Structure 1
Amino acid sequence: MKKSIIVILIACCSLVIRAQKGGSSTYDFLNLTSSAKVGALGGNNISLKDSTDLNMAYHNPALLHASMDNSLVFNFVPYVGDTQYGYVGFGKEFKNVGTFSIGIMNMNYGEFDRADDVGNILGTFSAAEYSFNIAYSRQFSPNFSMGMAIKPIYSKMDTYQSFGIATDFGIAYFKAESGFSFGATIKNLGSQITSYDDTYEELPTDFQIGISKKLKHAPFRFSITAQNLLVWDTDIENEDDNYVSDDISFGDNLLRHMVFGVEFLPTKNFHVDFGYNHKRRKELGYSEKMSTAGFSWGFGFKAYKFHVAYGSARYHLGGTSNHFSISTNLSSF
């Protein structure tokens, strides 16, 4: 079974090996994380199999498991300017069938001035995007699971609308006695069903792998997530297919595919998280004063029957995102 699933994943990779570089696809909001914990861990994590945080299933559907039965989660991120987004999700376990979750992610870009070709203000318009997530995961052994998610998408920019659909496939492996976990996922396979103006764009398809390891005699867990693996060169191209960024070394390019995270876990009810995203630092940091661009941090704790978490990610010298998450399990009431 495991070998068959791995073959399927490799076959899917061959179908999307011509994936677009960053900035040349539509529905890029699908790559954002609303989870405070994942935001604090660098913006991506697909390997925390033992987590009871339902948010993890958004990043890898194979991380959905029976312990998330009746879990409810709310996330909110005040982003750049008036932009804000969030996610709400619910999980349900069905005996001998598997675990399901439903959720919706909303990206609200705020209001904009509408003007004619000479600058006269004619009013305002709004823009927003939505992803409706339906995920399923099944445990094939005590250590191995597989999952998939279907994501209908609706996008509205002023009077323009677009519908699309994306699918995620993932696998996860967890060995409790050693504290080791592994995840792999293909994200956003799909297409636009209707486009904004009859010009169809590709979705931000990506293949990712990740590992996490908890130390046996210390309250720390380390994670490495490799992303954007369908395209090795991380330079961004312009419309003329000319590179607009400086040539980068092999090592620098390699690091741009990696997201690093570390958790401090002194108790079951409290954690502190740190992360580093090299691609974010290199592409968004101000070269004259990099400061903490690319770094992130956060914490979480349990209060009564709720788990509250906060994450902060530094994008550049003047921009930081703040992630807020609150979750609970309805079975505890």
Structure 2
Amino acid sequence: MFYRYNIILTFLLCGLLGISAQSGTSAYRMLDLPVSSRMAALGGKNVSSPDGDLNFAFLNPALLNGASNSMLSLNMANYLADIQFGTAAYGFSKGRHHFAAGVQFLDYGTFKEATESNEIIGEFTAKDIALSLIYSQELSERISVGVTLKPVFSAYERYTSFGAAFDMGLHYRSVSGLFSAGMALRNLGAQLKGYYLGADGQHTERLPLDLQLGFTQKLAHAPFRLSLTLHQLNRWNLYYTDNSSGKTDYDYIEMAGSISVADMAFRHAIVGVEFLPGKNFYLAASYNHRRHQELVMNGFRSMAGFSFGGGVRISKFQVGFGVSQFQVGNSSYLFSVSTSLNEFKL
């Protein structure tokens, strides 16, 4: 048969002890996808923006605050080849304690099941889903911490897997509110049940561990906000590993060595800018150098690495749109809508 078959000291210690995972070799890569149109427009990762956007708590739980109280957020994206990806979240607060529950899903669609002689004998589906239980606490007016528990479930035809991941976050905001910084250790955990049994028993893969550090600065006399996000700080080598290429580990080490120090360093950085003329409208753009280097092809013009988006408040709803490239020549579009249930007297 043929079927389609990956409180601060503790935070710092976990970051130092984390085991790195190469691109293409870890399970549950869905956890790395942009969670909203605004996040997509900012390059897919941001752990420092103090905007009170509920969706940002998916990446840094310390960003969950009172502005997310009674907020409901829905996000949907056409990812690649009709693959559907989306998130939903709801937040509530009690004093300096903030809570949220969310879900991420990736639906690969329906596939034909065939024998080796190409006889169609049925159909099957493939799906990933992750739940997020988020908690944050304000330690002071300027510092907050947070943690997220994420049970992850996956089913590809008859092959199933589940795991558990944790996120830990820290956020600082200056007295003026113009500068903020955030740190998050994401996807610390394990695949508890693999898709199949190996020679030594259950075959499991590592999770996409990611230590991120971000800085956001709003200009005092202009409606612009700048962000710098450093990701994958738990490992230096970000050369993409293609498991289907047939290349050996030595081949990849040799190819990674051909990348300059400056190029490799910049692959860890995402820069973003937002235009914020008021509370009811924004535009955003970003550049993700790693994504650009992995997707760009000689002889083809490409916007790979660049992302754009915007949002506007319409009556009781905040509506957002973002566009990014995850495949050469094809763009993915992300749509978001959020509202406060308090607007409806609920």
TM over 0.5: yes
1:7 aligns to 2:18 (yes or no): no
Counterpart secondary structure, 1:29: helix
1:329 aligns to 2:340 (yes or no): yes
Q: Deviations over 1:281-331 (max 9, x none)?
A: 100112222421110101101010110000001234411110100000111
Residue of structure 1 in register with 2:47 after alignment: 46
Aligned pair count reads: 326
Distance 1:243 1:256, change over 3 A: farther
1-structure distance, mates of 2:151, 2:289: 31
Q: Deviations over 1:30-89 (max 9, x none)?
A: 00013000101111111012x121001011000000111100000000111120110110
Structure 1, gaps ≥5 residues long? none
Residue of structure 2 in register with 1:31 after alignment: 32
Counterpart secondary structure, 1:188: strand
Give 1:176 deviation, angstroms.
4.7
Counterpart secondary structure, 1:10: helix
RMSD, matched Cα: 1.4
1-structure distance, mates of 2:114, 2:327: 30
Letter paired with 2:283:
V
Residue of structure 2 in register with 1:275 after alignment: 286
Residue of structure 2 in register with 1:163 after alignment: 162
1-structure distance, mates of 2:88, 2:139: 28
For the 8 Å contact 2:80–2:327, the answer to whether it is kept is no
For the 8 Å contact 1:292–1:316, the answer to whether it is kept is no
Residue of structure 2 in register with 1:210 after alignment: 214
Residue of structure 2 in register with 1:74 after alignment: 74
2-structure distance, mates of 1:133, 1:160: 23
Residue of structure 2 in register with 1:109 after alignment: 108
Distance 1:130 1:276, change over 3 A: same
Residue of structure 2 in register with 1:234 after alignment: 238
Q: Which of these residues, 245, 254, 262, is aligned with residue 251 of structure 1?
A: 262
Structure 2, gaps ≥5 residues long? 1-6, 197-201
For the 8 Å contact 1:56–1:64, the answer to whether it is kept is yes
Letter paired with 2:229:
T
1-structure distance, mates of 2:93, 2:289: 37
Counterpart secondary structure, 2:54: coil
Q: Deviations over 1:74-116 (max 9, x none)?
A: 00001111201101100010135x0000011111011112122
Could you tell me the TM-score, scaled by structure 1's length? Answer: 0.95
2-structure distance, mates of 1:95, 1:222: 30
Residue of structure 1 in register with 2:304 after alignment: 293
Residue of structure 1 in register with 2:57 after alignment: 57
Could you tell me the TM-score, scaled by structure 2's length? Answer: 0.91
